[in-house]
Amino acid sequence: MRTTIRGLRRLTFEMLNERHHAGQGDDDFSSVIGVKNKSVHVNAGSKIAKRIEPTLLDMVKTSYEKIGGNPKVQYLGDLGDEYPNWVVADVDEDPDVDCLVAGKTTPAGPKMAASATDGSPAAKATVMSIKKQLYKNGWWGEVSDAPAHIALNKLGIKPVEDEKKVRALLGGKEITWHGEHPEGKFPGTHGWYSRDIGGTVHAKIIVGDV
């Protein structure tokens, strides 16, 4: 299922209503994004985006620190340039944003490309919930290692196993197709390939509703 920007906004609106009716908090306009405990779609470059981007940049740096940082998001402006579609949430008492899922539009639908939190359990749980909703409603992503474990094993997201479809989604990027994981990880899953990213070869798999 392909998701346009209009479709993404509709999905986000439905997510907000679903969370509200589930009793997950009343609107609280002291939040920098206008509401608390609800997922909100923000377009990079908007007034809200400019206000929250420094906080999001700090979260990305902290979240990716253990793996040497996110190579594409280092400075203010990088996040919006690389991944202009943001889904964010404020889930604690202060007015700041606490979690982020970011992606970009592709011909096959929005591609999830980065996520980050403030490190709190509530923010981590919210990101997991957002990812599950998005993956099952038109978003897709390349994952490996821990993100692959989360998508495949914790969230139950189906991988794309057809080699031709994978190559089409990657838009001609050079890959080495494996099928099964080249190191024997994730037994029973198919759709693994390797590609060079910044001089390092990574085994990856595509997951999501594409």
Residue where a domain terminates, one of 110, 138, 166 = 138
Q: Is the pLDDT of residue 14 over 90?
A: no
Q: Tell me how far apart the alpha carbons of residues 37 and 89 are, in angstroms, rounded to a whole number.
A: 6
Q: What is the pLDDT of residue 27?
A: 54
* Residue 121 CA: distances (Å) to CA of 127, 144, 158: 10, 22, 25
Claim to verify: residue 131 and residue 182 sit in the same structural domain: no
Please write the tens of the pLDDT for every residue from 90-108. 999 999 999 999 999 999 8
Q: What is the pLDDT of residue 71?
A: 85
| Domain count for the chain | 2
Q: Is the dihedral of CA 152, 110, 37, 122 positive or negative?
A: positive
CB 65 within 8 A of CB 95: no
Q: 79-83, 100-104, 107-111: which has the minimum mean pLDDT?
A: 107-111
Mean pLDDT of the chain: 87
Q: Is the pLDDT of residue 53 over 80?
A: yes
Q: What is the pLDDT of residue 78?
A: 95
Q: Is the pLDDT of residue 1 over 70?
A: no
Helix axis angle for 121-135 and 5-21, nearest 10°, is: 130
Mean pLDDT value across residues 64-84: 92
Q: What is the CATH number of the domain that holds 82?
A: 3.40.630
Q: Is the pLDDT of residue 136 over 60?
A: yes
Residue where a domain terminates, one of 138, 172, 191 = 138
Report the C-alpha dihedral over residues 164, 165, 169, 174, rounded to 10 degrees. -20
Mean pLDDT value across residues 61-71: 89
Residue at 130: amino acid letter: I
Residue where a domain terminates, one of 122, 138, 154 = 138
Claim to verify: residue 57 and residue 109 sit in the same structural domain: yes
Q: What is the pLDDT of residue 59?
A: 97
The whole domain housing 74 covers 5-138
pLDDT band for position 10 (cuts 50, 70, 90):
very low
pLDDT band for position 163 (cuts 50, 70, 90):
very high
Q: Is the pLDDT of residue 151 over 60?
A: yes
